[in-house]
Each structure stands twice: as C-alpha cells, then as structure tokens.
C-alpha cells in the first residue's frame, strides 16, 4: 500500500461542482448542537435536524410519519403528489407489509444472479466505446449499464427504453417550474407499468414484474394492481436513475482526483472503502430526505420537537457531522466509525441499496482492470449537470484513454 499517498488524503472540496453544500457553514460555526427552522418547497416551516445521532433517531422513529406530506397542501419537497402506495409514502404497518414482499428479491443474495450480467454488459459497453473516436464514460458505459441491468432485473424489453427512460428522468428531476409536464410524465410512467401488470404489455417470465404478479397472494392481504405498480415504480426509478446517479458521481469523484483513481486501480482492497466514503459524501439530488411529521413530542439532543411539527432530517448534513466523522470532508478509505446514512435508516432504508452498491462495485472493478489509465479530459467546466430535486449528476464524462497493451 502506498503509505505516502495515505498521508495526503483528498478533500471533497477539491472536486469541481461535485455537490452543492447547502448550509455547510453550520460545520464551521459548530452549530451541530442546535437545530433551526427552514422553509421547504411547499412553503411549510420545518425543523432542520442535522446532527448524525438525531437524524438517525428521527429516521427510525415510527412516530415520525411520512404519509401526511403526500396530501394536498401537505409539507413536501416535491412540487406534485405521488402515488399513495409508494413505499416512501407509507407508514407502519402498511410499509412493513409492502417492504417484506420485496425484501428477499432486493437483498444481496437475491441479487447475486445479476452480478455476472452487469460484468458482461459493462465489458460490452467498454468494447463499443473503444471503437468510437470520442469517448464518454457516462454516455457510452454508465448510462447503458444502469438501464440494461434494471431491464434485466425487472424483465423489461430493452426496446421499451426509448419510451420510459425520458419519463423517468423528468420524474426524478421534479422541476418545480414545469409541474404540468411533470404530472403528465408521471402519469404516463404509472400507466406504462400498469399495462405490464394488467397484461397489456409483455415482459419476460423470469423478471421481477412477473414474479411480483405471480406472488401477489403471498402478501396478507394480497397485493392489488396499484400496489404492485407502486413497487415497480420505485424499482424502475431507483434501480435505474438513482443507481446511475450514484455510480456516476463515484466515478466522477475518483477520476477528478487521480491519486484516488490510482489507488483504486492498484489496490483492489481499497475499492469498497472508497465507494463507501464517496457514498457518504454524495447527495443524490438537491434534497437529501423526505419530510416527516411528528405525531408525538420528539426529544432529540438539541431540544424537543413538538407533536404536529414537520421535520427535515438532513442526511446530507448528518453524513458530514464532525462529531460522527472526524474531518468529515476528507475522503479517507481507512475511516472507522458509524455507517453513513446515504441509503437512509430504519423502516424507510432504501430498497435498492444492495443493487446500487453491487452495480457500482462491479463497474468499478471492470473499469479499473480494463481502463486503468483513463483520465477525465481537460476542461471540467464543459461537463453538463442535471439539476433536480431527486436527481443531481453529471450527464457527460469525457475521458481520454491510454490503453494498456492489447486494448484497441
């Protein structure tokens, strides 16, 4: 291991435009010992909780509920309502019933069969990219791998990608300035999945769509069509757009700091730690959590949040809390301490976290082996970014490649 390199750890601040740092000044002002009020998109005043332990407590507390925020006039970070049966909108015990139905299929062991496919499709995409004059890691590899793997998992024909992909991105960006278009795209995406559930569209017999339909009676009570569509909607969006966002930002960060990329290439044992560190410091979109409503008084380290109050448990800030993570903006693969909250915690922990981590890991392994000398091209200001509420990421990663002997 290159000990000298570990003595010169890199900071997330060194990465151009990697993530907006809203309220980062709170770290410098040491205000993690208090919480204040902020105003979210819907206009509601909200308790802004940023301390790691307090955020973790809010996320696991069943008295802090999600449902009322997805009602007309409710406190929300989104400009429109979403289907009531989405996992992110459900509270106990309805959430547990739905989550249990899919938990095995989205577990590490349940997804293990997909690992070989992700490896294969990544290599195919790299082969195709190497034949191009202009090489873009995002467009030529990451974008294609993410949607192909998710189609394979769900059993969707890749011919459908041209239809549903743009709808899904619009939904995740959730542009508050174009609510009519957002609502229309969301409706079309919902109807697309309903057509799968009702049999109006075809899909493979071995994907999760057909499996969920076949197993609907194993839930008590049996899942209805709307509930299956809501599960699939989370899968279609999160398994593709969210996973792609995380994967893109991990690669963008690693390539922006060549010392880190070199460590990833030459020290495979550091790949998982680097992934976890970059996940800790990555924000999926321009928000980091969905608001919750306290049904009882909630006591946290900074005071009492009264019953009826809206709470914004800021995962982005909690993952940078210096009381939980020493020198929080330093990218340190040898870091010890608590597990980050990038995928949430408790009942609403992200259903697709194992899929995302597996996909990032496999793609990183293949790229480190196939393209160890790749670099981001000069002129990072030319990288385009999608800016949205649920989705914020680079939409192109132009690279230069100095292939090893045998690559062409």
Is beta strand 392-394 parallel, antiparallel or unpaired with respect to 64-65? unpaired
Q: Is residue 358 scored above 80 in pLDDT? A: yes
For residue 111, what pLDDT is reported? 97
Residue 320 has pLDDT above 80, yes or no: yes
Flag whether pLDDT at 4 surpasses 60.
no
Q: Which residues pair with 48 in a beta bridge?
A: 36, 312
**What pLDDT shows up at residue 262?**
95
Q: What is d(CA 165, CA 364) in angstroms, rounded to the nearest whole number?
A: 24
Q: What are 374's two structure tokens?
A: 């790749």
Tokens of 160: 């459908």
Pairing label, strands 45-49, 310-313: parallel
- Residue 113's alpha-carbon distances to 25, 89, 185, 236, in angstroms, are 44, 30, 32, 19
pLDDT at 25: 44
What's the pLDDT score for residue 23? 45
Q: Domains of the chain: which residue ranges?
A: 3-7+68-288+330-337+347-400
Q: What is the mean pLDDT of the chain?
A: 91
The phi, psi pair for 299, rounded to 5°, reads -95, 120
Q: What is the pTM of this model?
A: 0.92
| pLDDT for residue 69 | 94
CATH of domain 3-7+68-288+330-337+347-400: 1.10.630.10
Q: How confident is the model at residue 82 (pLDDT cuts 50, 70, 90)?
A: very high
Region 87-106 average pLDDT: 94
CA distance 149 to 152: 5
Average pLDDT over residues 266-291: 94
Which residue in the block uniquely carries the two structure tokens 């059993």? 155
What pLDDT is attached to residue 255? 95
Would the pLDDT of 68 be above 90? yes
Helices first, then strands: H and E counts in the chain:
17, 13
So what's the pLDDT on residue 280?
96
CA pair distance 340, 315, nearest whole angstrom:
9
CA distance 270 to 395: 27
The answer on pLDDT for 286 being more than 60 is: yes
């Amino acid at each position: 291991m290159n000990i000298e390199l570990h003595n010169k750890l890199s900071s997330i601040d060194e990465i151009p435009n990697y993530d907006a740092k809203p309220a980062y000044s709170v770290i410098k002002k040491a205000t993690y010992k208090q919480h204040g009020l902020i105003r979210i998109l819907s206009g509601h005043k909200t308790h802004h909780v940023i301390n790691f332990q307090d955020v973790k407590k809010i996320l696991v507390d069943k008295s802090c509920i999600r449902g009322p925020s997805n009602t007309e006039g409710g406190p929300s970070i989104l400009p429109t309502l979403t289907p009531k049966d989405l996992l992110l909108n459900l509270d106990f015990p309805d959430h547990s019933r739905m989550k249990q139905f899919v938990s095995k299929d989205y577990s590490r062991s349940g997804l293990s069969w997909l690992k070989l496919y992700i490896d294969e499709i990544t290599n195919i995409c790299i082969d195709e990219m190497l034949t191009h004059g202009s090489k873009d890691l995002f467009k030529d590899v990451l974008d294609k791998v993410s949607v192909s793997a998710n189609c394979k998992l769900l059993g969707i024909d890749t011919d459908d990608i041209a239809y549903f992909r743009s709808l899904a991105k619009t939904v995740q960006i959730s542009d508050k300035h174009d609510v009519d278009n957002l609502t229309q795209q969301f409706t079309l995406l919902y109807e697309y999945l309903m057509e799968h559930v009702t049999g109006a569209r075809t899909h493979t017999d071995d994907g999760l769509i057909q499996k969920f339909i076949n197993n609907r009676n194993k839930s008590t009570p049996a899942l209805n069509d709307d509930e299956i569509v809501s599960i699939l909607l989370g899968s279609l969006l999160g398994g593709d757009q969210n996973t792609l966002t995380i994967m893109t930002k991990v690669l963008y960060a690693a390539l922006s700091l060549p010392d880190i990329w070199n460590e990833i290439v030459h020290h495979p044992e550091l790949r998982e730690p680097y992934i976890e560190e970059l996940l800790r410091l990555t924000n999926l979109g321009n928000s980091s959590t969905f608001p919750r409503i306290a049904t009882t008084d909630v006591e946290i380290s900074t005071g009492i949040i009264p019953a009826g109050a809206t709470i914004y448990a800021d995962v982005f800030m909690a993952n940078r809390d210096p009381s939980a993570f020493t020198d929080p903006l330093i990218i340190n693969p040898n870091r010890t301490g608590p597990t980050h909250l990038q995928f949430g915690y408790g009942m609403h922990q992200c259903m697709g976290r194992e899929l995302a981590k597996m996909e990032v890991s496999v793609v990183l392994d293949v790229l480190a082996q196939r393209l160890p000398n790749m670099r981001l091209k000069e002129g990072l200001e030319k990288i385009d970014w999608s800016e949205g509420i649920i989705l914020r990421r680079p939409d192109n990663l132009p690279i230069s490649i100095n292939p090893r002997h045998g690559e062409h």
